[in-house]
Structure 1
């Protein structure tokens, strides 16, 4: 029982800290209950941006409305249908093509949308890419591997250098 209460408290703290740090920008995370909210951010037709907490890691990924399934990259392909958050916004979020081999990642006019973290070490941002005949949403690492870490249908992962990243502009 105390582990369940501690987990809920941790999620509440993460949400409060995230909401405070994003107060200048109009995006937020809602609990996903099986229905897509009208203010949900779309990544592609039938694909939304989800977030799941697992092993001290907050993982961004794809939420497929057709089967209510979250798929993200966590040392390979990770899937779940429970305890999912969905990214929502009333503001202007946009997908921007980047090539991390050629173009600087930072943009003074826009801010990357933070999608999660791993421990106290890495922040994850949100990227998308059309791969294996479908749109996939996954984590973008800037500090560690400087790529979109994308899950594959076989269960492994690949690092993509040219993809779209989600940004918000004031």
Structure 2
């Protein structure tokens, strides 16, 4: 019995780790205010300017998805309110043609993700991984986090003029690990 359990655990561990993050084309780089050429576009602000997908460390909370505006070093992280962060910020980079946005909502996200690869945007300490989401809000794109660790309640949190808001319908950033050419829509 013990041997069967050990073999099952080994097989499960091997299957889960055979597809490591090192095999992926996307990665996080330090953000210094300059947007790298291979940064993944998140959408456009109300003035039509590009915005990007970021990740910021919030002390004692985790790594949180944030919206990056080119040239601005400070980001606003939706984490139990809005936290202003000006260090430990990263920007998502990789081939634009390998990522795409998929519409979803909080009650069916987990079913929609079966056999698909959602881009991991960070984690909340003690709770689990979070994903990258976006919405169109009052004429502009808002990038934020999806608390996907809570089945049937995977809500999207974002910064709305200094206030943390949540919404239940959104788009989630997906990674195409097949050899298909997908094009990201700018929103």
Q: What TM-score range do you get, normalising by the shorter chain?
A: 0.7 to 0.9
CA distance in 2 between counterparts of 1:64 and 1:133 reads 16
| Residue matched to 2:43 | 44
Return the match for 1:73 from 67, 70, 78.
78
Q: Which has the larger radius of gyration?
A: 2
Q: TM-score, with normalisation over the residues of structure 1?
A: 0.78
> Unpaired runs of 5+ in structure 2?
1-18, 45-49, 178-187
TM-score (norm 2): 0.71
The structure where strand makes up a greater share of residues is 1
Query: Compared with structure 1, are the counterparts of its residues 162 and 60 closer, same or farther at alpha carbon in structure 2 (3 Å cutoff)?
Result: same
Work out whether residues 40 and 86 of structure 1, in 8 Å CA contact, stay in contact via their aligned partners in 2.
yes
Q: 2:173 aligns with which of 155, 166, 169?
A: 166
Q: Which residue of structure 1 lines up, in the alignment, with residue 181 of structure 2?
A: none
Report if aligned partners of 2:58, 2:85 keep a CA contact under 8 Å in 1: no
The CA RMSD over aligned residues, in Å, is 2.0
| Corresponding residue SS for 1:112 | coil
Contact residue 61 and residue 136 of structure 1 kept, 8 A = no
- Secondary structure of the 2:100 match is strand
Q: How many aligned residue pairs are there?
A: 149
- Superposed CA deviations along residues 21-51 of structure 1, whole A, max 9, x for unmatched, are 4123211000111110000011013210111
Secondary structure of 2:107's aligned partner: coil
